[in-house]
Every structure is written in structure tokens, then in C-alpha cells.
Amino acid sequence: MPMEPRILSAHRPVSLVLATLIALGSSLGPAAGPAAAFPSYDSGYHTYEELTSAIRDIEAAHPGLVKVSSIGKSHEGRDLWVAKVSDNVATDEDEPEVLIDGGHHGREHLSVEMALAVLKHLTSTYASSESTRRRVNGTETWILFNLNPDGTTFDGGGSTYRDWRKNRQPNGGTSAIGTDLNRNYGWKWGCCGGSSGSPPSENYRGPRPWSSPEVAALKRFVDGRVIGGRQQIRIHLSFHSFGRVVVWPWAHTGAGVPDADDRAALAAIGNEMARLAGYRGMQSHALYPTDGDQIDWMYGGHRIFSYTVELADRRYPPDEMIATETARAMPAVQYALDYASCPWSAIGRGSVHCPPSWVKRLAGSDRYATAAAISRASFTPGVPVAYVATGTNYPDALAGGAAAARDGAPVLLTQQGSLPSATATELARLKPGRIVVLGGPSVVSEAVRSKLTGYTGGGVSRLYGADRYATAAAISAAGTPRGISVVYVATGTNYPDALAAIPLAARTDSPLLLTQPHSLPYATARELDRIRPGRIVVLGGSAVVSDKVLDRMRVYTAGAVTRIAGEDRYETAAAVAVPFPAGLEATFLATGTAFPDALAGGPAAAKHGVPLLLVTPSSLPPATAGQLRRIKPASLVVLGGLGVVSDEVAAAAARAAR
């Protein structure tokens, strides 16, 4: 253990100091050995053990509001405690989340006291204060009390402070201890002269991003708050000391964040929190440049409105200041909680960025989980049949989607060689009467088909042909009676037209057949010949299904062969929606630029008897807006995560629908 001159200058005999340090070092864990204490004049600060007890006592006194867990362990094995504060705290409710942390830097003990003060405030005033109840009930607040318990314990563990900032992780090849946790984040790590590459430095960034177990644990926790394609944490406050300032990203550059509304809202919230506390507010870089720091990763990696709050006006505020300094900053915390549901409302742009509550997003961590989420939202256990298609291409899922819609059944997705856990979980919930695999063994293996038999009592069958056209024909042949009133035909070379057609096809229990743009596949022609439908409806304009192909189909019906088409996929989907009446319970929205998140949407929309419209990831096409204005659905169902349909597009759709 390295000795520093100030430790040896303590008034106690050197031998006793050494013995104490050796004892501390050998115990290397909070559970064993004597608890480290603060210098006697500052005993009002909480040691790690006292903090742990205080948190546990508050949890025990408010079991419905506080739930304590550990996000991981420090280098020396101390638990990194986090308390979740909310009504129905045991349930992960769909409420905006706020993260508050303290203790990045060992010697900044007031930051840990502030985190504890927030927990005390929210719980002790819950019964008496209407505004506290609103904040607690309306958000899920995570309080990570001390990210660096090894550093704070070491700093406060003597008769006087050790002025220790970093964690207590050894560095290979040197006796220098510790990494500056707030330079160890993997966003612009070490980019810009705002940290040190030298282990003895107070600002040592570590050998690589996330190298400290404490920061790595925080990363796992924050990454884990991405649920249903959305980061749940909207606002983050990191308490440090000192300076009485509130700062926001970026820290690594003097440039503001690129998005103009984000830039303005970051500043508006930061400045107001500063004003409420009697602090100064500024962009972090203006205070001093740092890189690899927490708030840049929070915003850059997760678009969390992230703030560093430097408490107090001196490095070691005496414990007499704990109550006054934490009370002084509390209004800033209250303000952050008030704006967590939509930070952009601080600049009057809430309706642009935050969809109203009647917009529901169905999404998972990947295409399989998204399909499962879509199924879960629309289908109840005991469905007669579930269809399972490959998630790596669209034709089978879409042709099967029309059959599923007819049967009141979902489409779930699988990998070729293994059944994704999200799909398995949903099948276990659905308990389908039987399962139909769409496609041959080259797209859904025999191993997967065999595994599926465990999720139904009614057996697992396959429908497939030699190619996508023959597979669509086989799906149709399995359930379409001769002489059905109408058959829909879409291109097999892209997905949007076929996807949008499913809810319309479901109204007449019609099949969806596929065609090449310039020639009618033999399997499609043969199935049309078998059915001899009353009429045929082609999706899309002549660029996607040529007039020649349309003419070729005339021999298979005594009725008309017509098109539902627009200038592009968005207009075509809007045209498909025209037969649906206004005042529907919902309308589904999917991206028109990537199929994976949309594949399961057709049967779900059909189940509700509502259309499916298309958007781009970043804009609401006019034709889509026009149908939303006409239909005025009571709710919107968005398929997929923020990457395929942004909140801004969902919010624009909501405005069009009202």
C-alpha cells in the first residue's frame, strides 16, 4: 500500500498508522475487519457501513416505495447499492426513470450524503406532500449512493482525510493505485486532453474504457434500462463536490450537442436547476474540458439528459454543512423529477418530442423480441394456431401473415438453427392449439421444428414450396376455398406492400400471393387457377407489379383485376387503409424502410380490425398523415424501437390523428 507524506504526518505514531493500514488492507472488504470511521470532527458523514444501514432502515420503513439492490461490486468487493423509489416499487412500471448518483470521487463525501438526502426527502415527505407523491408516483427514481465506496472509505478512513479521488484498483507495472472513475467511460475516452494516461495522475483514465469494475457495473445497469427499444432513464444527476455549479454535455468539446432542441433543453433544465440551487449553470466544457466522463456517455450513448452537479463551496465541507447544502440542492432534484416525463417541455417542445400516452410502442431488444411483444399485446392464451417464420427474410412471414390474420393467430419469428428465447417464452404463454412452420428446413431447421412440438399439444406442421412464390401458394392452398371473393397479390421482392395488405386481406379471409415484378411465377398462377377468385387485387403501381403481369392474371377470374396503388410504398399503404372506417380503436404504424420489426404487425393489426400505415424512421409521410387525420384512431400502435420509428415521428403521427 503506497504511503503518502500527509498520512505519515498524522499525529499518531507512524507504527500505529502502518498497523491500521495493514489491518485495513488485509481485510479488504466491508464485511470483515473494523469499520473505517471519518475523522472525529466529521462523524456526521456516513461511512460505507453506516450508509448501508441507513438505506436498509429506510427500505424497511417504506417497503412499498423503496427497493434496494446492488448493481455490482467495487474493486475491493463492496456492493454498489442502488435504491429504486416509486409507487408499486416491486413492479417495473411504464414510468419515466431518473438516475441520481454520488461518490464518483472518493473525497467528495457530500455527494454521497446528497444521494442519501434525496432518498430521505422522497420517503419522509411522501405522506405529507402532494408534490412529493406526484414525483414518486409518476417516476421511477434510481439512487446509486456511492459509485466509489473503496475510494470514500480510504479517504475517510484515518484521523484526517487522505485527499483521495480515484478508486482503489491497482495498475499493472506501477505502484500507483486507482483510476479516475469519471474519466473511464467509453464515450470519447481519452480523446481530447481532458484526462491523463499516466497511472499516478489524479485524472488517470485507466488502461481502457470501462476498465474499472465500478464504471463497468454502472454501464451494465444503464444499458439494462433499455427496455422495449427505449432507454427508460430520461434525466440523470451526478453529484460531486465542489463548486456550486450545474454542467451538461458536452464535456469533451466546446461545441454543443448536435440536436438543436436537445441543446436548448439541456441548457434550459440545467440553468433552471442551477437557479433553484443558487448555483451557476454552464456547458461542462466551459468549466473545464474532460473526456471519457459520465455525462457525455449518458447523453452520447443513451440520449439521457445528464448533469454533473458540483455541491458546496469547498473541498471538505464540515459535517455541519450536510443539512444545509443538501437542502439547498434539493429543489434542483425536484425540478429534474418534474421534467423527467418530457425534458423538451422545458423549452415548449414537448408535443414535438414526446408522444402522448395513447401512443403505444411495441418493441423488444431484437426482431424476435419485437415480434413476441407484438403478439403479447394482441393475442391471448389458447389461440387456435401460431405461425412461426424465419426472421431473416420477409416473404414467408408476410404470406403467412395473411393466413394468420384469417385464423386470428400471431406470427412469431425464429432463427434457422435455434428458437430465440423471446419466441419460446411467448409460445409458452400462448399455448397454441397447433403450430405451423412457414418455409422449408433451409430457413427453419428440423431441430427448431422439433423443439416447437414442446409448445403445443396439437402438433407442428410445415407449409413451404421451392421458393417464396411457391411457399406463399402453399400457404394459400392450405386454407383458401375455391371461389373466394378476392385474392390479394403483392410483389415478392419487397415487404411494405404485402405488409400493409394483410389487415385488408383479413377482412375477407383472403390469401396473399406473391409475384415477380415482370412475370407471374408458375406457383402463383397455379394457385390462382385453383382458386378462381371473384376478383384479384394487386398491391402497388406498375413499377412494382407490371401491367403485363396484371394482364396475365385476368384469365383466373371472371371479375376485375385492379390495383391499390400510390406513388410509393407510403401512398400505397395509405390507399390500402381507405376502406377502413373513421373512429377506429387504433391504427398501427411501422417503418417502410426495414422489415424485421414490422413482420409480426400485420396479423396483430388485423386482429383489431385496423389498418397498418408506414412511416420513415425520421418523418411522417403526407399520405400517412392524411389517413390518420381521416381515421382519427383512439390510439396508435408503433412497431419497433426508436431506431426504426423515432418518438418525433410517433408524436407527429399523434398530432395528425387529433
Per CB under 5 A, residues contacting Zn ion are 105, 108, 240
Q: Which residue in 26, 70, 88, 131 binds Ca ion (CB under 5 A)? A: 88
Question: According to the binding rule CB under 5 A, does residue 41 interact with Ca ion?
Answer: yes
Cβ closest to Zn ion, residue 143 vs residue 436: 143
Stretch binding Ca ion (CB under 5 A), from 181-189, 311-319, 435-443, 648-656: 311-319
| Burial classification of residue 55, based on how many CB atoms lie within 10 Å of its CB (0-12 exposed, 13-18 middle, 19 or more buried) | buried
Q: Which does 41 bind (CB under 5 to 8 A by kind): Zn ion, Ca ion, none?
A: Ca ion
Distance CA 658, CA 654 (A): 7
214 is catalytic: no
Sign (positive or negative) of CA dihedral 34, 36, 39, 40:
negative
Cβ closest to Zn ion, residue 143 vs residue 312: 312
Stretch binding Ca ion (CB under 5 A), from 32-40, 308-316, 319-327, 541-549: 319-327
Q: Which does 240 bind (CB under 5 to 8 A by kind): Ca ion, Zn ion, none?
A: Zn ion
Question: According to the binding rule CB under 5 A, does residue 319 interact with Ca ion?
Answer: yes
Cβ closest to Ca ion, residue 20 vs residue 232: 232
CA–CA distances in Å: residue 651 to residues 13, 129, 268, 620, 657: 68, 33, 22, 10, 10
Q: Which does 87 bind (CB under 5 to 8 A by kind): Ca ion, Zn ion, none?
A: Ca ion
> Across the strands, what pairs with 360?
637
Cβ closest to Ca ion, residue 86 vs residue 370: 86
Cβ closest to Zn ion, residue 203 vs residue 480: 203
Distance CA 416, CA 88 (A): 40
- Shortest Cβ distance from residue 182 to Zn ion (Å)? 6
Q: What is the DSSP string of 538-562?
A: EES-TTTS-HHHHHHGGGG-SS-EE
Q: Shortest Cβ contact with Ca ion: which residue?
A: 86
Question: What part of residues 184-223 is at the interface with Ca ion (CB under 5 A)?
Answer: none
Distance CA 255, CA 307 (A): 16
Q: Which three cell numbers stand for residue 75?
A: 474493486
CA–CA distances in Å: residue 98 to residues 35, 140, 525: 32, 6, 58
Beta strand extents in 26-146 (DSSP E only): 66-73, 79-85, 97-101, 140-144
Distance CA 10, CA 33 (A): 22
- Shortest Cβ distance from residue 164 to Zn ion (Å)? 12
Helix, strand, coil percentages for the chain (3-state, nearest 5): 40, 15, 45
Question: According to the binding rule CB under 5 A, does residue 87 interact with Ca ion?
Answer: yes
Q: Which does 59 bind (CB under 5 to 8 A by kind): Zn ion, Ca ion, none?
A: none
Q: Which residue in 49, 50, 93, 366 binds Ca ion (CB under 5 A)? A: 93
Cβ closest to Zn ion, residue 105 vs residue 219: 105
Q: Which does 92 bind (CB under 5 to 8 A by kind): Ca ion, Zn ion, none?
A: Ca ion
**Helical packing angle, 109-124 and 130-138, nearest 10°:** 110
Q: Which does 618 bind (CB under 5 to 8 A by kind): Ca ion, Zn ion, none?
A: none
How far is C-alpha 282 from the geometric centre of its chain's CA atoms? 28
Q: Which does 319 bind (CB under 5 to 8 A by kind): Ca ion, Zn ion, none?
A: Ca ion
Choosing from 95, 140, 272, 310, which is the catalytic residue? Answer: 310
Cβ closest to Ca ion, residue 205 vs residue 234: 234
**Contact string 109-148 vs Ca ion (x = CB under 5 A):** -------------------------------x--------
Are 260 and 342 spatial neighbours (Cβ–Cβ below 8 Å)?
no
**65-68: long-range pairs with CB below 8 Å, 24+:** 65/89, 65/122, 65/123, 65/126, 65/136, 66/119, 66/123
Q: Which three cell numbers stand for residue 231?
A: 432507454
Question: According to the binding rule CB under 5 A, does residue 86 interact with Ca ion?
Answer: yes
**Residues belonging to the active site:** 310
Provide the binding-site residues for Ca ion, judged by CB under 5 A. Answer: 41, 86-88, 92-93, 140, 232, 318-319
